[in-house]
Amino acid sequence: MSGAQGPERIRAAHASTNLFVLLGGEPLLGRTFQEGEDSPSREAVAVLSYSLWQRRFGGDQGIIGWTIKANNNPYTVVGVMPPGFRFPIGWLTSEVELWAPLVWDTGEQNNRAATTLEVVARLRPGIRLEQAQANFDLLTRRLEQAYPETNKDWSANLFPLAERGVIDYRPLFLFLWLAVGVVLLIACANVANLLLARGLERHKELTIRAALAPDPAITD
């Protein structure tokens, strides 16, 4: 993103226009995306995070309607999200600070080989995750039969949004558990060696005492 302060690298995300409604995210200033703003013919708009608004624009209350540049493309700021709002999927190690509508041209819409999107959805009331997974499994099998060139061996795994952090960090967690296990083994080995060394010293002491002690079988 560029501006009067010079360019800055930030995390941005392109999202469907109903993302904020789905998540129940209400803007602090302005509005979120409107239906139709994902059309290539519409003016490009953007929603800012609270941290970006404060850091880059000094919390200016008149930010709505400003034109900013991201990747050398102009965007009109239409909203600012509150401090507690976080992008729910992906990039958990770096906070998303700008959202823009996901705009696909005709070629991208017809490209069945594209697998770059992440999806977040809300289950219908009364539907369990297992039921939704079964429906997705059926859908993916039908797609595989209809489009074997692009959909063969592809599947969809559903999981609660709260578990996303665990899934993203699972390799790190496994490494940390392994490291903790190794440290505990080293600590146990050190304690065992210390007890063995003290036992050997004690054994010498007891042997000398036994040698010096009077034989109870000898009497005057």
Tens of pLDDT along the chain (220 residues) come to: 655 567 888 888 899 999 898 888 899 999 999 999 988 888 999 999 999 999 999 999 999 999 999 888 999 999 999 998 877 655 444 688 999 999 887 666 777 777 777 788 888 889 899 999 999 899 999 989 998 888 888 888 888 876 655 444 555 556 666 777 777 878 887 777 777 777 677 666 667 666 666 655 555 4
What tokens appear for 83 in the block?
A: 């401090």
pLDDT at residue 162 in the model: 67
pLDDT at residue 44 in the model: 94
pLDDT at residue 214 in the model: 62
pLDDT at residue 58 in the model: 92
pLDDT at residue 174 in the model: 64
Q: Which amino acid is at 200?
A: L
pLDDT at residue 91 in the model: 46
pLDDT at residue 115 in the model: 73
Q: Which burial class, exposed, middle or buried, applies to 56 when counting CB atoms under 10 A from its CB (0-12, 13-18, 19+)? A: buried
- Spatial distance between the Cα atoms of 148 and 125, rounded to a whole number of angstroms: 34
- Spatial distance between the Cα atoms of 43 and 67, rounded to a whole number of angstroms: 11
Q: Work out the end-to-end distance of the chain between its first and last CA atoms, rounded to an integer number of angstroms.
A: 103
pLDDT at residue 212 in the model: 65
Alpha helices for 66-169 (secondary structure H): 106-109, 129-146, 148-151, 164-168
pLDDT at residue 167 in the model: 46
pLDDT at residue 166 in the model: 47
What tokens appear for 80 in the block?
A: 């600012």
* Domain limits, the chain: 12-109, 129-161, 169-212
